[in-house]
Structure formats: structure tokens, C-alpha cells
């Protein structure tokens, strides 16, 4: 649970710590230095450490600021910020001089080493890994290892440095790139969501990873689309398809030619040859010809998207509706099916826009309704998709297992069960 933020106090002190203005800090009273805190609970020492100002760190510790103090929103210490921002000298000072825990745990058991991996701070990563009191292979409360963190690197990361650190990290922790976290995400899922085509390609081509669904049925390609990275999604859906090599071998047998599964031109050439050999108009076998077509289409289309993320198919389960919110209702159910413990109304817009990054115009803006009116609207207009409890927590009105069963129906009655 996120702790309540506080109003920033003594912002000028925090700014001085951020910019390294030691003279200003020395002129400030000890009470002001101790009282300076930002909206997230970070002290002046957090800011000085994260900004890499060694002398400011030394002075603030001499004025009784605690070098191990955790900030209030997620429990991170000055060392966490120094590691995250690549401040190796400050990390050494905090650990070796002030004896802070090198493997200090923030909320959810997040460590300084994990944050250094997330930001690909290579020098800090190597320094922390060299210490016997740092567990580089630690898995946090969400089931994420350092491999997941490094896959979430910023979009600005330098490609060569990123891949070099991935290779190094794998050796340091004897890493398993198939490790899944509590959401069922492998590092491949994280790299896809972050838009790292270079890392996805490395994991697929050098490490043999292939598409697998997460706990909600989403493939890495689905998460790439969610992050707005269509080029990554296309690569993963095709090249990383788990049965691609087998399908390519089948097409090669049908065509009597060699097939390179990674080369679109090779696949097209083989399909044309197979079609000439087996087309019914050429005295071929219609069933074999259909098999050629299906095999080729699977190679071209790749891994199908998660049907639970298809608002059109979900909408068909809800039946016809004259409500102007019909399409929103279908999308709403898509979002809520991935929130088994419920979703706070205040978080709905962000989660909705993340699920539909290029198609969220149907969302009824809270500013047009107010949250109380929006909750009432959901109860009245979207009861087929959503239940709203007394605490304004949203829940899917249909069980995920029921929706999955209906989506897989081949014929039969597609009408959905009544909402609980």
C-alpha cells in the first residue's frame, strides 16, 4: 500500500542538496536540515546521494541525518537513489564509511542492486556485485529478479551497454531467462513492454526464448502493443512463435524446398512452390493444399493475440446494447478481467489507456462526470461488465473462466451467463 504523501518542507534546502550547494547547506540551521522533506518523504540526504554530491552527503551525515533512513512512499534509502543514478563514489561512501546495508531492502524487497540494473548503471552494478554482502540473485516480493529489472531499462539505454550488462548479469547470478514473476512475466515480457527490440531479439535468437502466455494469457507481443511498440510486437508474434521451426519444416516438406524460418522471402517462395504442387486445379489434393495455406498463414500471422484483449469479441459475449457506452463496456471488461483483486476507480483511466494506448477515445472522462457520477454511471450503464463496491473498487462482472470458455466455444449458444 502506498503511504500518504506529505507537503514538501524547506524546498530550498532540498534544492541545495540536489544541486550540490554546500555553502547554502552549511548556513542552514540543523533543525531546517533535519526538517527538509519532499512530497515522497525524501530527505536532503536522499537528494544529495542521488545527485552524486559527496561533500554534501558527508556534511548532512555530520548534522545527524540518518544515512539509512527510508523515504515514506516506497521505503528507499539514500543508497537506493545513489545506485539507481550511478553514483559509485557515494555508494562506496555510504557502505564503507557509514556502514549502511549494501543490500538494504525497500518496500517489496527492492534492493539497490536491482535499481542499478534497471537503469543499467554498469559501474555501480559491478561494485555492488563485488561485495559478499550483496545478494545479486535476490527475487523481490513480486517475483522479479535482476533479469526482470534490466529488461525494464529506459528507452534511452545504449544498446551495446545494455546487451553487455545482460550478458554479464546472466553470468554473475547464473540467471535463468525463463524465470517468471507473480504476473507470469519472463524478462522477455518486460523487454517487450519497454520496446527493447534489441533485447527481445537477443533473448529469442541467442537465448532461445519463445513466446509464452503470462498469468492473464498475454504474450510478450501483447505487452509490446500495450506499450505502443508495434515493431516489437510484429517481431515477437512471428519470429518468437514457439512452433515456428516445426511449421517451417512442414512447409519445406510440402514444397520440396529448403526454408529459412527467419526469412519472409524464403517462406513466400516455399509457399508458392507448395501451391503449384498441390493446387486442386493442377490435379493436386485439396486437403494438402489447404494444409499448405494454413501452415503459411500461421507462419505469417504468428502467435495470435490474447482473445481476452479483444473488445470486439468480448462485446459479442455481452450481447446487443443500445447504450452509447457499449464499446466502452466491452473494453472495461477486458481491463477488469486482468484485475482479480479489483481496481480502484481512481486508477481506471490509467489502466484503461495502457490497455488501449491507441484506442481509448470511448473512455468517459472523469472531468465530465466527476468520480461519484462516474461510479454511478458504471453501476447503471455497465452492469454487464462491472461491479462497483462501496469503496469504489471495480470488479469484473463475469468470471474470467466463464469468458475464456465462451471465447473458445466452437458453435453452440454464445450467450453469456448472467452477471453474479
- pLDDT computed for residue 112 by the predictor: 98
Distance, CA of 86 to CA of 105 (rounded, Å): 18
4 pLDDT higher than 60 = no
Mean pLDDT (whole number) for 67-94: 97
DSSP three-state, residue 21: coil
Distance, CA of 84 to CA of 70 (rounded, Å): 15
pLDDT tier for residue 171 given thresholds of 50, 70 and 90: very high
Mean pLDDT (whole number) for 362-378: 72
374 pLDDT higher than 70 = yes
Nearest to 36 by CA among 46, 49, 26: 46
Nearest to 356 by CA among 326, 374, 337, 331: 331
Q: Are 162 and 120 in contact (CB under 8 A)?
A: yes
- pLDDT computed for residue 291 by the predictor: 87
DSSP three-state, residue 393: strand
DSSP type of residue 235: H
Distance, CA of 416 to CA of 170 (rounded, Å): 47
- pLDDT computed for residue 365 by the predictor: 66
Task: Read off the C-alpha cell for 349.
Answer: 483511466
Give the β-pairing of 343-344 and 386-388.
unpaired
412 pLDDT higher than 50 = no
How far is residue 100 CA from its own chain's centroid? 31
DSSP three-state, residue 135: coil
Nearest to 403 by CA among 314, 306, 312: 314
Query: What are the DSSP calls for 187-215, one per residue?
Result: HHHHHHHHT-HHHHHHHHHTS-------T
- pLDDT computed for residue 371 by the predictor: 65
Of 86-90, 235-239, 300-304, 371-375, the range with the lowest mean pLDDT is 371-375
- pLDDT computed for residue 59 by the predictor: 98
pLDDT tier for residue 78 given thresholds of 50, 70 and 90: very high
Q: Nearest 5°: CA angle at 229, between 123 and 325?
A: 130
410 pLDDT higher than 70 = no
In the beta sheet, which residues pair with residue 37? 9, 43
Task: Read off the C-alpha cell for 309.
Answer: 484483449
Amino acid at each position: 500500500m502506498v503511504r500518504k504523501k506529505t507537503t514538501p518542507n524547506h524546498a530550498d534546502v532540498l534544492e541545495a542538496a540536489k544541486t550540490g550547494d554546500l555553502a547554502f547547506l552549511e548556513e542552514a540551521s540543523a533543525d531546517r536540515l533535519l526538517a527538509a522533506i519532499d512530497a515522497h518523504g525524501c530527505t536532503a540526504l536522499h537528494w544529495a546521494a542521488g545527485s552524486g554530491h559527496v561533500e554534501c552527503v558527508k556534511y548532512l551525515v555530520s548534522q545527524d541525518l540518518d544515512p539509512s533512513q527510508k523515504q515514506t512512499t516506497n521505503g528507499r534509502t539514500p543508497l537506493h537513489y545513489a545506485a539507481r543514478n550511478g553514483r559509485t563514489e557515494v555508494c562506496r561512501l555510504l557502505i564503507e564509511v557509514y556502514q549502511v546495508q549494501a543490500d538494504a531492502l525497500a518496500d517489496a524487497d527492492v534492493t539497490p542492486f536491482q535499481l542499478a540494473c534497471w537503469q543499467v548503471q554498469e559501474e555501480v552494478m559491478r561494485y555492488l556485485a563485488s561485495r559478499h554482502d550483496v545478494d545479486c540473485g535476490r527475487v523481490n516480493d513480486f517475483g522479479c529478479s535482476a533479469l526482470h529489472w534490466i529488461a525494464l531499462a529506459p528507452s534511452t539505454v545504449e544498446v551495446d551497454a545494455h546487451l553487455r550488462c545482460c550478458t554479464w548479469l546472466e553470468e554473475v547470478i547464473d540467471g535463468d531467462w525463463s524465470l517468471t514473476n507473480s504476473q507470469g512475466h519472463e524478462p522477455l515480457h518486460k523487454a517487450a513492454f519497454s520496446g527493447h527490440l534489441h533485447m527481445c531479439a537477443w533473448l529469442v535468437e541467442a537465448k532461445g526464448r519463445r513466446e509464452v502466455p503470462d498469468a492473464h494469457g498475454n504474450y510478450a507481443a501483447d505487452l509490446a502493443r500495450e506499450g505502443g511498440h508495434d515493431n516489437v510486437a510484429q517481431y515477437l508474434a512471428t519470429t518468437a512463435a514457439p512452433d515456428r521451426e516445426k511449421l517451417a519444416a512442414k512447409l519445406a516438406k510440402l514444397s520440396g524446398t529448403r526454408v529459412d524460418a527467419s526469412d519472409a522471402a524464403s517462406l513466400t517462395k516455399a509457399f508458392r512452390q507448395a501451391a503449384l504442387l498441390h493446387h486442386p486445379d493442377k490435379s493436386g489434393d485439396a486437403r494438402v493444399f489447404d494444409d499448405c495455406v494454413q501452415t503459411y498463414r500461421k507462419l505469417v500471422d504468428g502467435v495470435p493475440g490474447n482473445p481476452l484483449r479483444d473488445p470486439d469479441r468480448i462485446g459479442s459475449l455481452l450481447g446487443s446494447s443500445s447504450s452509447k457506452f457499449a464499446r466502452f463496456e466491452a473494453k472495461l471488461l477486458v481491463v477488469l478481467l486482468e484485475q482479480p483483486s479489483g481496481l480502484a476507480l481512481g486508477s481506471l483511466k490509467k489502466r484503461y489507456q495502457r490497455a488501449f494506448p491507441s484506442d481509448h477515445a470511448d473512455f468517459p472522462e472523469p472531468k465530465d462526470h466527476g468520480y461519484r457520477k462516474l461510479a454511478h454511471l458504471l453501476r447503471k450503464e455497465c452492469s454487464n461488465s462491472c461491479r462497483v463496491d462501496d469503496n469504489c473498487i471495480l470488479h469484473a462482472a463475469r468470471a474470467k473462466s466463464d469468458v475464456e470458455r465462451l471465447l473458445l466455444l466452437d458453435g453452440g449458444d454464445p450467450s453469456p451467463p448472467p452477471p453474479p
